[in-house]
Amino acid sequence: MNMIDAINITKRFDNSMVFENLNFSVEKGEIVTIVGSSGRGKSTLLRCLVGLEKIDGGTIIIDGKKLVEDGVYAKSRDQSKILSEVGIVFQNYNLFPNLTVRGNLEIVKNDGKKIDSLLRRFGLYDRASAYPGKISGGQKQRLAIIRAMMLDPKIIFFDEPTSALDEDNRGEIVKLINELNSEQYTIVVVAHDMQFVDCLNSKIYEMQ
């Protein structure tokens, strides 16, 4: 069963075409990597799939539900329901700098037990009261992953997850992605770092 189906989707900014009639599908529980040189629209595609950008034509189906059909979006309430299946880890993490590590999670869902268990699992329990500005790049990324997991999505998108990480943390993120995938999360990664892509056991789409 496919978790994501993008059928003939088109996106343009003003008069410049980002992609046209693009087809793309992701099966449940698989890891998919979207690669391609910069400016090919990888991140834009990802932003369209999480609802941050609107496509200009085509159909997007997420977990069997139509987010867009032939360029026409579902009703706002339905969109919100459909998009609750997806979580995203941004390239710059986009953590809330005025909230502590715990605060960044509590604001999404105030579930103390879940927060404690995720913080422990991802090695951030001791840093729960620190502000994002005071934790390392790897810790920020882990926090961004936990935050994306707070709403129990079925699909997690990663936008250039290694762009701000050193060698050690790169290895760690590969391990984390594989771990999440083994828990039945469907993973979509946008990357241009081929060394990193080679480490993931993933289906690769290249945007040309």
Partner 1 sequence: MFIELLKGLLVTLELFAVCWVFSIPFGLLLCFARKNSLKFFRFLIDTYIWIMRGTPLLLQIFFLFYGLPLIFPALQVNDRFLVGAFAFILNYVAYFAEIFRGGLKNVDKGQFESIKVLKISKLKAVFRIIIPQMLRVCLPSICNESVALVKDTALIFSIGVIELLTTAKNIVNSSADIFAYVVAAAMYLFICSLVNLAFKIFEKRLKFE
Cβ-based nearer residue to partner 1, 17 or 52: 52
Give the number of residues in contact with partner 1, rule: CB under 8 A: 25
Instruction: Assess 96 for contact with partner 1 (CB under 8 A).
Output: yes
What are the tokens at 126? Answer: 């001791």
* One character per residue 102-141, x = contact with partner 1 (rule: CB under 8 A): -----xx----------------------x-xx-------
Lay out the sheet containing 72-73: strands in order across: 16-27, 2-13, 57-62, 65-69, 72-73
User: In the chain, which ranges are continuous DSSP H helix?
Assistant: 42-49, 76-83, 101-106, 112-121, 137-149, 167-182, 194-199
- The two most distant CA atoms of the chain are separated, in Å, by 50
Candidates 21, 27, 37, 52: give the one binding partner 1 (CB under 8 A). Answer: 52
Please identify which residue in 23, 54, 117, 151 interacts with partner 1, judged by CB under 8 A. 151
| 13 near partner 1 (CB under 8 A) | no
Q: Does residue 161 interact with partner 1 by CB under 8 A?
A: no
* CB atoms near residue 26 (< 10 Å): 22
